[in-house]
């Protein structure tokens, strides 16, 4: 792949966890540093696995490692929220905006369109994956700003559409890959996604972005329930006429 493809992939793969760690550093510095180091270590391991061909889909046998990598990262990130320090950091009022801000780096999804132009990815995958990521990345700073201003308008739909974009991209990439599970026959296939540098996107960036969306939705629900509870405790405002 050309050097600019590597650069764009690394911006997304390194940038998402780095920006997340940076925005959470003020409230939980140890957690932020630990999470950053852990994800950096996984990125190196994933790169070595991709270089060894672990993610390549065989012609007759299904290799589960790509799917396990995606599920594994999501599970680990969500499980980490049960750590008291992490839970305390996520409970901060401005955390929901901080969880959305890193999604801005999804604009590097343009890399899929560039690789498609190079003739190494099919349009059936590159167009929804690339355009969807770019749309999420462009919308992210606006949603984050609204959340900082105290408005949740559009935040739920933003996270839902972000999840849909990731699920569609992974599903199409899997179904259009060479192997026994190929249901979408196209040329070229999505084989390039299982090799470096693109393999780092589904194994590092995608599950981390998915976990951020899930955490954002949970935090939004918690905030809404808190507001409802406060409204019930306060009760209706007194009627000035009755006074």
Rounded percentage of the chain residues whose pLDDT exceeds 70: 91
Given a cut of 60, is residue 239 above it in pLDDT? no
Average pLDDT for 205-219: 95
Given a cut of 80, is residue 207 above it in pLDDT? yes
Q: What is the pLDDT of residue 242?
A: 43
100: Cβ–Cβ under 8 A, 6 or more apart, which residues? Answer: 140, 143, 144, 147, 155, 158, 159, 212, 216
Measured CA distances, 60 to 178, 182, 227 (Å): 10, 11, 55
pLDDT level of residue 229 (50, 70, 90 thresholds): low
Higher-scoring residue by pLDDT: 178, 148: 148
Given a cut of 50, is residue 240 above it in pLDDT? no
pLDDT level of residue 88 (50, 70, 90 thresholds): confident
Q: What is the pLDDT of residue 228?
A: 62
Q: Which residues of 178-202 are buried (b: 16+ CB within 10 A; e: fewer)?
A: bbeebebeeebbbbbbbebbbbbbb
pLDDT level of residue 241 (50, 70, 90 thresholds): very low
Q: What is the pLDDT of residues 154-203, one digit of tens each?
A: 999 999 999 999 999 999 999 998 877 788 989 999 999 999 999 999 99
110: Cβ–Cβ under 8 A, 6 or more apart, which residues? Answer: 8, 130, 133, 134
Higher-scoring residue by pLDDT: 17, 225: 17
Q: What is the pLDDT of residue 56?
A: 86
Question: Counting Cβ atoms within 10 Å, is residue 96 exposed (0-12), middle (13-18) or buried (19+)?
Answer: buried
Given a cut of 70, is residue 143 above it in pLDDT? yes
Given a cut of 90, is residue 236 above it in pLDDT? no
* 12 neighbors 108 (Cβ within 8 angstroms): yes
Rounded percentage of the chain residues whose pLDDT exceeds 90: 64
Given a cut of 60, is residue 58 above it in pLDDT? yes
């Amino acid at each position: 792949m050309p050097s600019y493809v590597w650069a764009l992939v690394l911006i997304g793969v390194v940038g998402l966890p780095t920006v997340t760690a940076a925005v959470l550093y003020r409230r939980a510095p140890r957690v932020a540093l630990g999470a950053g180091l852990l994800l950096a270590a996984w990125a190196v391991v994933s790169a070595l696995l991709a270089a060894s061909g672990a993610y390549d889909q065989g012609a007759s046998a299904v290799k589960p490692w790509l799917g396990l990598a995606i599920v594994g990262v999501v599970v680990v990130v969500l499980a980490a929220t049960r750590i008291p320090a992490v839970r305390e950091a996520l409970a901060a009022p401005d955390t929901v905006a901080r969880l959305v801000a890193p999604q801005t780096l999804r604009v590097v999804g343009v890399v899929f369109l560039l690789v498609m132009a190079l003739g190494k990815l099919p349009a059936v995958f590159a167009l929804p994956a690339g355009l969807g990521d770019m749309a999420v990345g462009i919308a992210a700073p606006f949603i984050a700003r609204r959340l900082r201003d105290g408005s949740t308008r559009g935040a739920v739909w933003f996270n839902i559409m972000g999840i849909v974009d990731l699920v569609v991209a992974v599903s199409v990439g899997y179904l259009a890959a060479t192997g026994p599970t190929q249901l979408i026959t196209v040329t070229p296939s999505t084989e390039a996604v299982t090799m470096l540098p693109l393999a780092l996107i589904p194994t590092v960036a995608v599950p981390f972005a998915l976990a951020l969306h899930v955490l954002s939705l949970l935090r939004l629900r918690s905030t809404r329930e808190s507001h409802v509870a406060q409204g019930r405790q306060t009760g209706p405002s007194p009627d000035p006429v009755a006074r």
